[in-house]
């Protein structure tokens, strides 16, 4: 196999002009370079999640149910507090009535 001698023309020439087979070799390396470039892009990307409208609605419904349960719990607490106050007032009134009856 004969090798071409180096000359100023061959040094300044592009690889394709010196050896036509280089063109096919360079073309086969482009996809690899492209893949390598995309690796950096993929590393830079953050993870994202796509939530469907149906999933959002279901989550919203559960939140609404949770709020309703909390409201009912708060209402029960308020009713219990009012009932305790009424019982205390009734005891106080009964005690006062008993004291008035005993004073006679």
Please give the helix or strand (H or E) that residue 4 lies within, else none. none
Grouping H, G, I as helix, E, B as strand and the rest as coil, residue 100 is helix
CA distance 33 to 29: 6
Q: How much is the pLDDT for 97? A: 85
CA distance 84 to 78: 10
Q: How much is the pLDDT for 59? A: 83
CA distances from 98 to 72, 88, 102 (A): 38, 15, 6
Q: How confident is the model at residue 60 (pLDDT cuts 50, 70, 90)?
A: confident
- For residue 101, is it left (φ>0), alpha (ψ between -120 and 50) or beta? alpha
pTM of the model: 0.36
Q: How confident is the model at residue 87 (pLDDT cuts 50, 70, 90)?
A: very high
Enumerate the domain spans of the chain: 50-104
């Amino acid at each position: 196999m004969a090798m071409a001698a180096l000359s100023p023309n061959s040094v300044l020439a592009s690889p394709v002009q010196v050896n036509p087979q280089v063109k096919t070799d360079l073309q086969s390396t482009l996809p690899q370079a492209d893949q390598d470039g995309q690796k950096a892009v993929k590393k830079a990307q953050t993870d994202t999640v796509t939530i469907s409208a149906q999933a959002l609605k279901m989550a919203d419904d559960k939140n609404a149910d949770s709020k309703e349960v909390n409201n009912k719990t708060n209402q029960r607490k308020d009713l219990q507090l009012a009932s305790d106050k009424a019982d205390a007032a009734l005891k106080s009134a009964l005690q006062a009535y008993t004291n008035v009856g005993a004073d006679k």
